[in-house]
Amino acid sequence: MKLHAAAFLVIFWLATFTVHTVKGSIGSQRMRKFSCVRLSTQQLSIRNLVSYEKQQVPINAIMFLDTKGIKICVSPDKKWVQDAMKKIDQKHTTKRK
């Protein structure tokens, strides 16, 4: 009877350790908190944009971050989007110098 209880405890602790290890490895992976699923058709003011991020999954998009911290997803094919990305890149390049 004591042997069964000891075996049960060993199995219980191994299972608990395995679950925590798996959760830790999955939880420690960096995951995007916000993902574009729809695109805005509105043209944004370039001077209010502070950064951008390219995204290809689940849709091809550019995610802009504005001065208020709002994230807006737009089509990367638009001319104004390309211009905005260049302007943001130029701002970041001049700040680093």
pLDDT in tens, 28-39: 444 457 789 999
Per-residue confidence band for 57, with pLDDT thresholds at 50, 70 and 90: confident
Residue 49 predicted with pLDDT over 50 = yes
Q: Please state the domain extents for the chain.
A: 1-30, 32-97
Query: Considering the domain 32-97, what is its CATH architecture?
Result: Beta Barrel (2.40)
The residues near 72 (Cβ < 8 Å, ≥ 6 apart) are: 40, 44, 63, 64, 66
Q: Are 61 and 36 in contact (CB under 8 A)?
A: yes
What does the DSSP assignment read for the chain? -HHHHHHHHHHHHHHHHHHHHHHHHHHTS---S----S---SPPPGGGEEEEEEE-SSS-EEEEEETTS-EEEE-TTSHHHHHHHHHHHHHHHHHH-
Output the pLDDT for position 14. 54
Output the pLDDT for position 93. 82
pTM: 0.62
